[in-house]
Amino acid sequence: MTTDNDVIVIGAGFAGLTAARELTAKGHSVRILEARDRIAGRTWLDNRMGRNLELGGTWVHWVQPHVWAEMSRYGIGVVPGPEFQTAYWWADGQRHQGPAEKILEILDEPNKLLLGQARELIPLPYQPLSNPAVKGVDHESVSTRIDQLGLDEETRQLLRTFWSLNFNGRIEEAAFTQALRWCSAASGDWMLMFEACATYKIQGGTSALAEAMLTDSKAEVELNCVVKRIDHHEGGVTVTTDDGTTYDAKAVIVTLPLNALNSIEFSPALSESKQAAASRGQAGLGAKLWIKVKGKWDRFVAFGGEDWPLNFVQSEYFDEDSTTLVAFGPDGTAVSVEDTAAVQAILERLVPGIEVLEIAGHSWVEDEYAKSTWPMHYTGYLSENLEEMQRPEGRIFLAGADYANGWGGFIDGAIESGLTASRTVHDVLTF
């Protein structure tokens, strides 16, 4: 069976939902083909351990203009996270404890040193290559840059853990420019950048925003529909799914994450540069876990060792006899989302007396439609790959947080990129 549409959008994450809504608003017929049995992609609000928990993307901020505009459009507010009282951190082979501000104090000067060039090298975060000098540092890693700062060992270790948290991965090949991009998007203020990353949640959850966008769209959505192949020619595309169904369209917007892009066969093939970038992938290969612990704990944050399977924890929800924590680690294969005992062993090194009751999470790195968490690029991606990923090939257009200019690792980046792709496709179809 073959179905005709003006545009096929592959993927119903925020990039796909944005692009589809915009194109239908301009009068194009759009069909979204989504592999999962749900929309929203790498965001997923699900009921676990007795409450709705965000298993993927979560936090937003008013310095992220695209997601904020969408929330204003649909009348969706934010829910602030807890203000922290206590901090635990691991450095020099031992646990340290202090007031929460102490962590920010330790990290302040070194982050200012590390990120001091952010505004100079990336003066316009939505045109990340506007200053050609940024290419000169794009092959340097965050790891090397931190080690060059000449910090005392405790501070060095904490800063490395902090950036491993931000990358949700290992930092040896993590692009220094990616750190600069984040900081520049937060107007050069690393504390604002950190606040933007983990403080304000979407009221009603990410699914509320995704549903609002879909409801506002005239696109048809097909779930459980895995795209396997795209044949393209000057005037259009034929998209084939795993059950052999084909869809003809004038254009296709592909929103697969970079790490999953090569799972589709393109004919003719995508440029070698695009294929190589997808084969290398990106550094966000870590874990996110929700952990219910016994008793009502205070509001704490905790930084473990850089290489610990979970190296960051914060308390998030407080009930009478339990507390729910959210945790991150740099290697999604190092901690099972079902191994409560392993999580207990990691946590008790950091937070004395803690007793894990239950855990919940989703293994995004083992998820074939994601193969990664949030997009955090390797060295060289900005200068060698980003523009090429954004360059359409015939009637094929890539969109997604992995290919965005501004807040690239975020929901905001997905929406930005979806808007750009829809505008470009509309221009191609109407001129």
Ligand X SMILES: Cc1cc2nc3c(=O)[nH]c(=O)nc-3n(C[C@H](O)[C@H](O)[C@H](O)COP(=O)(O)OP(=O)(O)OC[C@H]3O[C@@H](n4cnc5c(N)ncnc54)[C@H](O)[C@@H]3O)c2cc1C
Which residues of the chain form contacts with ligand X (CB under 6 A)? Answer: 10-16, 33-36, 41-43, 56-60, 226-227, 255-257, 260, 263-264, 288, 364, 369-370, 373-375, 400-401, 409-414
CA 146, CA 160: separation in Å to the nearest integer? 7
What are the Cα distances from residue 191, in Å, to 81, 105, 156, 376? 16, 11, 18, 19
Which residues in 120-159 are b (16+ Cβ under 10 Å) and which e? ebbeebbebbebeebeebbbebbbebbeeeebeeebbbbb
CB 257 to ligand X: min, Å:
5
β pairing state of 2-10 and 30-33:
parallel
Q: Which is nearer to ligand X, 34 or 138 (CB)?
A: 34
CB 110 to ligand X: min, Å:
23
Q: Which is nearer to ligand X, 91 or 185 (CB)?
A: 185
Helix (H, G, I), strand (E, B) or coil at 181: helix
What are the Cα distances from residue 393, in Å, to 9, 227, 231, 376? 15, 18, 12, 24
Q: Are 200 and 79 in contact (CB under 8 A)?
A: yes
Q: Which is nearer to ligand X, 117 or 282 (CB)?
A: 282
> Looking at this protein, which amino acid is placed at residue 389?
M
CB 406 to ligand X: min, Å:
11
Give the Cα-Cα-Cα angle 391, 394, 398 (nearest 5 degrees).
45
Q: Which is nearer to ligand X, 21 or 156 (CB)?
A: 21
CB 21 to ligand X: min, Å:
13
CB 401 to ligand X: min, Å:
3
Tell how far CA 83 is from the center of its chain. Answer: 23
CA 133, CA 119: separation in Å to the nearest integer? 12
CB 136 to ligand X: min, Å:
27
CB 116 to ligand X: min, Å:
25
For residue 356, the cross-strand partners are: 293
Q: Which is nearer to ligand X, 106 or 183 (CB)?
A: 183
Q: Which is nearer to ligand X, 23 or 151 (CB)?
A: 23
Q: Which is nearer to ligand X, 188 or 361 (CB)?
A: 361
